[in-house]
Amino acid sequence: MASIKISSQVEQAEWNALQAIARESHQSISGLLTEAIRDYVRRRQVRPAVMDHLEDSMDENEELGRRLAK
């Protein structure tokens, strides 16, 4: 997979902690950042199947929702 170069600023304390983790785990900063970004993106994305299920459930329980709202 192609890599891109990024530039950003972080708090000094977090940078120091990241460097310590990299040393302890024998990983590169780049590898740790890639892993962290991947995990963040996974947590933030809502899968289409989940949204479809939610919509189906709301449609099936529309009357119950109205009664509970009263």
- pLDDT of 28: 96
- Does residue 4 lie within any of the structural domains? no
Q: Is residue 1 part of a domain?
A: no
What is the model's pLDDT at position 4?
A: 93
Cα 67 to Cα 61: distance, rounded to the nearest angstrom: 10
Domain count, the chain: 1
Tell whether 65 is covered by a domain: yes
Task: Give, for all 70 residues of the chain, the pLDDT tens digit.
Answer: 799 999 999 999 999 999 999 999 999 999 999 999 999 998 888 788 888 888 999 999 998 888 888 8
Instruction: Indicate the DSSP class of residue 27.
Output: -
Closest CA to 34 of 60, 69, 3: 3
Q: How far apart are the first and last CA of the chain?
A: 54
Neighbours of 29 (CB within 10 A): 13
**Residue 38 maps to a domain:** yes
